[in-house]
Structure 1
């Protein structure tokens, strides 16, 4: 099954490149080395991270952390970038509910360390909070997990390696429809992530003649982030006797699911999304067996999974967004190598090209791509996440949405993919 995401105009009013005095930055893919020699940095490629070390997204950090370690190891083993090892110079924390100033402190640390590239943030709202200052400092952000629709093409100093909620929302709705459900409820959190995914989910349901009976746009039935008790919401949902229920949340699902079970909802009719399609070892065996979830990107399995776990044993806890994080680091390194410079401007000028936007020879590892670049060839890096080349909006032109079904140990197992 295929769908085509429609182009979305960025809606946020952030500082423009001109206002930041950065109008000289080229954002398209010119010839390699088009940045002036006097401005090009040929020192080691310095990168950083802005990932959730605490808070409601902390359960999603394991995959990206392992992916950064693996990507750096493979890059350096292949000879590095411009013959030098990539350096991880700063690791910021994007969010902590007990300390709302943590992200600003992390941004201060990142700017002081002066990397060319930062992987993160994972939360769309956290990216919005960090972007103005990092862009003003000339630091490129690349997110493995931001799915907010409004981030499409928002800033020349931002890209993502994951599809927007337009694609996942439609994929989730089509999965529900294929299972024969026409009266559906949704518990969605009240933020850009929850609302954006809900809107596209609802649009697809209604276009097929189905109904979103709870959580619909305009009904004011979204829940707040970090909410911990859901008895009233679950009671309200079940009073409408829906045939299926979808939850758009982060760790709040850990409280919602037991409440659903306590109120006798059939959890085989439950659908989850990327923020909560994770193992639930805390639950009784079999509680979630038969429930389903969707996650953008190809399933993490086989040799890549083994390599992630070898790089960081915490990857056994979750590999969500690991392929996208790995791809982001490799794209940045390949762009620097193609352009002959490790500065942000050179990376920006070459980023889309190495993703395949200009065609070129296909390659799937850093070593293979590096050999082609050193032979003077254009390349198309075919990443672990299965996304297409980056568009002018600096996001994948196509993407895979993985479909998962929970087994008797409450672990999501990949059962298929939808290409969008």
Structure 2
């Protein structure tokens, strides 16, 4: 667990201006504790550094703008679920009961989010906003309106991916999907949409994570129905890279398709630029207005010059922190039920549009009795009745050894 109340910049400012008593009073005010459950170890660990940086940036901006509720800073209380549902339930219990967090950002994986919600946060009435849990099953949870996500659900991703695959002239695809809610849900969404566009799924294999070899499964998939490509729904560090390596070394497949779980530069670095050339897929993208996206990216690069603000789920993580902070401010309270009720009021229209880095202006509007409509780094959030964000899907592709965004789709 790590905690941070003051930003580096705010700390320096206070040191340089000891006479600024209002700032010191704010710094000493009781913090509002926000839980952040990340998969800092395990299969999703490679995605975490830029995601953590995005949450930290948002919290630093909010605290630099005077925090919430008359000067209370946000305090990030981080926990590592180790990419494991049982550990996720354990750390969520600690955050809710011992740390007394007002709300939670995360978890990252869909299966962990579902486990945490059912076992911990729904019974406790704690609102959670996941930036990266995309399984369709989250939309149907009996959650008492406590589960939200800034990532677009996989139903839309499956439709967009099917469209892109068919437009590339691919008619027959084999699917290898991680055996969890994310993998099974996205494989099903893609298969239904792909068949609807005249494509054929030659075979599907759900695999268990972190095995030393997947040669037998790949050989079986390659031998059925003459597939033109392999769709891999996985995470790099817990099976995805091993599957790609096995497929390349044994010549089972020459063409590869991925989803958000495999949209990572480490895949190219570990498998090689030549065999991964043309590897393409989809991930939750950005529907943000250009000026809002630019404001976010410039701030992110100033704080993290060697980290990619466009990496998977990074903008969505930044937005999760912002909507929670705005909900606290709009609710005028740290009561969990009040925050939950305020989330749609600050994220959805109507209201005056506010964007990344504009927390001070948003507070002014709210304090004046107005409404705000947060339009974030990933786009307008607009939570629907199920707590799902409405957004776009990114089309990415490996070109000259780099993972690049080549398009954005709403379907």
TM-score, scaled to structure 2: 0.83
Following the alignment from structure 2 to structure 1, what is the Cα–Cα distance between the partners of residues 121 and 251?
48
Q: CA deviation at 1:67?
A: 1.1
Q: Could you tell me how far apart the structure 2 residues matched to 1:149 and 1:208 are?
A: 21
Could you tell me which residue of structure 1 aligns to residue 112 of structure 2? 126
3-state SS of 1:139 partner: coil
Unmatched segments (≥5 aa) in structure 2: 1-28
Equivalent residue number for residue 295 of structure 1: 283
* Alpha-carbon separation, structure 2, partners of 1:82 and 1:289: 51
Partner of 1:413: 404
Work out which of the residue numbers 129, 132, 142 in structure 2 matches 1:142. 129
Q: Residue 265 of structure 1: CA displacement? A: 5.2
Among 243, 263, 270, which residue is 2:256 paired with?
270
8 Å contact 1:144–1:321 — kept in the other structure? yes
Distance in structure 1 (CA, Å) of the matches to 2:381 and 2:410: 10
User: Are the equivalent residues in 1 in contact too, given 2:352–2:373 (CA < 8 A)?
Assistant: yes
- Whether the 8 Å CA contact 1:293–1:405 is kept in 2: the answer is yes
Structure number with greater CO (CA < 8 Å, separation at least 6) is: 1
Whether the 8 Å contact between 2:63 and 2:74 is mirrored in structure 1 is no
Q: TM-score, normalised by structure 1?
A: 0.81
Report the Cα distance in structure 1 between the residues aligned to 2:210 and 2:306, rounded to whole angstroms.
24
The within-5 A match list for 1:6-405 is 44-95=31-82, 102-110=87-95, 111-131=97-117, 132-152=119-139, 154=141, 155=143, 156-215=145-204, 221-240=205-224, 241-251=226-236, 252-264=239-251, 267=254, 269-280=255-266, 281-298=269-286, 304-312=296-304, 315-316=307-308, 319-357=311-349, 359-365=350-356, 366-396=359-389, 398-405=390-397
* In structure 1, C-alpha distance between the alignment counterparts of 2:384 and 2:30, rounded to whole Å: 29
Instruction: Write 1 or 2 for the structure with the bigger share of helix.
Output: 2
Q: Secondary structure at the match of 1:275?
A: helix
C-alpha distance in structure 2 between counterparts of 1:387 and 1:194, whole Å: 27
Cα gap change, 1:242 to 1:321, in 2 (>3 Å): same
SS in 1 for 2:382: coil
3-state DSSP class of the match of 1:246? Answer: strand
